[in-house]
Amino acid sequence: MKLLLYISAIVAVTALVVIAIAIIKTAKTVKQAMKEVTDTMKRVEVKVGGITEKTDQLMNQTNQIAEDANAKLQSVDGLAASAKELSESTAYVQQSLTKMADQVATPPGKYAKLMQQTTVLSEAAARMYYGAKQQKGKR
């Protein structure tokens, strides 16, 4: 009878040790996954920062072009000539914006896949972040 109790105790202790090992391995895996998510988020932030910087540069360049066009319009004699140049400038800006919008809407193949992957990663990271935030809020 005592032998059965000792065997039961050994089995219980062994089971607890196995469970503890599994928990430790799981915790390490989760920690690594969170590090990878953090690294991915940092890379996404860097990419978004680069896009924002390029957008600001483009906006400044567009403003300079607009200022240049306005200066040229003021130097031209006659209302008809000024109206014609303004119409041409507007058409050029509209054409440029349309072209830029088309390029953003339909990027080349190599960028389309990258943008799609970035979107998927961003959505997954956001779900994980808000899920963790909700879990923290429930505590």
Please write the tens of the pLDDT for every residue from 42-89.
888 888 888 888 888 888 898 898 888 777 766 655 666 666 767 788
What is the SS3 assignment for 107?
coil
In a domain, 86, yes or no: no
In a domain, 136, yes or no: yes
H/E element holding 108? Answer: none
Helices (H), the chain: 2-75, 79-105, 109-138
Distance CA 78, CA 23 (A): 82
Q: Are 107 and 115 in contact (CB under 8 A)?
A: yes
- Encoded tokens for 67: 């200022």
Per the structure, the complete domain to which residue 117 belongs is given by 107-139
In a domain, 37, yes or no: no
Q: Of 8-22, 64-78, 93-107, 117-131, give the range with the top mean pLDDT.
A: 8-22
In a domain, 125, yes or no: yes
In a domain, 50, yes or no: no
In a domain, 133, yes or no: yes
Please count the structural domains in the chain: 1
